[in-house]
Amino acid sequence: MSEEKRHIVVCDDEQDLRETIGDYLEKRGYAVSLAANGDALQDLLETAMPVDAILLDITMPGDDGLTILRRLRAERKVAVIMLTAAGGLVDRVVGLEMGADDYLAKPVDLRELEAHIKAVLRRPDHLPPVHPVETDGGGEWNHQQAEKIAIAGLVLDLAGARLWKQDGSEIPMTAMEFMLLKVFVENRGRVLSRVQLLDLTHDSSCDAFDRTIDIRISRLRRKIEADPSEPALIRTVRGMGYIFDPQET
């Protein structure tokens, strides 16, 4: 399905906001459904056409957004962008820990919102061949030519934005987790500061003093490290940032 035809659900109890967002996205070519609360969202998911992404408000009467997010992650695979109150750092951190793909603070800039939607929906269909990461110093690794990268028993598909185990099972990743891993792979052996990571992942929604980047790296480590408590792939360089430098693949 082409990006402009994808189905977006806006779940927010503020009628003016959800209708404004819905009108904007429809004009941009998306199919849009509106839900005022968790019950209405559940009805949509059970009866409407397949949903590609959900814009989910955190503060709503009845089930709040975090409760709904927990249920969504247990039941289905769908992109979720949380809408949080300005300055709602705790909600953002908890949402990311629970598997939200992204978040935006209210009031929402509609052009920025569309950019975030496009980012989480970017999933090309065709998978090119594997090119392993060079680890023996036998030549410079050209990540621009490598579309599937072998990493410590895993395969990162750059074109499809997916991570696979050797047995063929997929490791679920959020859009930001994929972007982080892609940035690390493309900068192998280079120490990256928080500011650089935010810049390279095009994440303008938090700053270098925000713990969000550390939380995302912690979640990523739990998915790719043999022992997340003793990370060997993404290592912390005290006072400087992080480095991706696998010694084995």
Q: Is residue 68 situated within a structural domain?
A: yes
Per the domain annotation, does 223 fall within a domain? Answer: yes
* 186 occurs within a structural domain: yes
Tokens of 65: 């957004």
Residues 8, 115, single domain; the answer is yes
In a shared domain, residues 56 and 154: no
Place of tokens 């938090």: 206
Asked whether residue 50 is domain-assigned, the answer is yes
Return the CATH number at 180.
1.10.10.10
What pairs with residue 130 in β-bridges? Answer: 148
| DSSP code at position 204 | -
Q: Are 11 and 111 in the same domain?
A: yes
Domain that holds residue 154: 148-244
DSSP state letters, 55-119: EEESS-SSS-HHHHHHHHHHH---EEEEEE-TT-HHHHHHHHHTT-SEEEESSPPHHHHHHHHHH
What is d(CA 116, CA 69) in angstroms, rounded to the nearest whole number?
A: 18
What CATH number does the domain containing 92 carry? 3.40.50.2300
| Residue 125 included in any domain | no
Residue 64 lies in a domain: yes
Q: What is the pTM of this model?
A: 0.54
The pLDDT value recorded for residue 132 is 39
Task: Tell whether 86 is covered by a domain.
Answer: yes
Pair (103, 211) in one structural domain: no
Question: Does 116 lie in the same domain as 174?
Answer: no
| SS3 assignment, position 180 | helix
Residues 7 and 105 in one domain: yes
**Domain annotation covers residue 80:** yes
Provide the 10 A C-beta neighbour count for residue 190: 13
Q: Looking at the structure, do residues 68 and 165 belong to the same domain, yes or no?
A: no
Q: Does residue 116 share a domain with residue 7? A: yes
Quote the DSSP letter at residue 3. G
> pLDDT tens digits for 149-197?
888 788 888 777 788 887 778 888 887 788 888 889 888 889 988 888 8
Is there a single domain that holds both residue 30 and residue 100? yes
Residue 208 has what pLDDT? Answer: 47
pLDDT tens column, 110-158:
998 998 888 788 743 322 333 334 333 443 434 444 467 888 788 888 7
Number of domains within the chain: 2
Residue 3 has pLDDT above 60, yes or no: no
Confidence of residue 19 (pLDDT cuts 50, 70, 90): very high
Q: 95-117 burial, b for 16+ CB within 10 Å, e for fewer?
A: bbebbbbbbbbbebeeeebbebb
pLDDT tens digit sequence for 50-75: 888 999 998 888 888 888 988 888 78
Written as six digits, the tokens of 105 are 């603070």
Structure tokens that stand for 204 in this block: 């303008």
Q: Which of 15-24, 116-125, 215-224 has the highest mean pLDDT?
A: 15-24
**Comparing 164 with 242, which gets the higher pLDDT?**
242
Is 30 in the same domain as 69?
A: yes
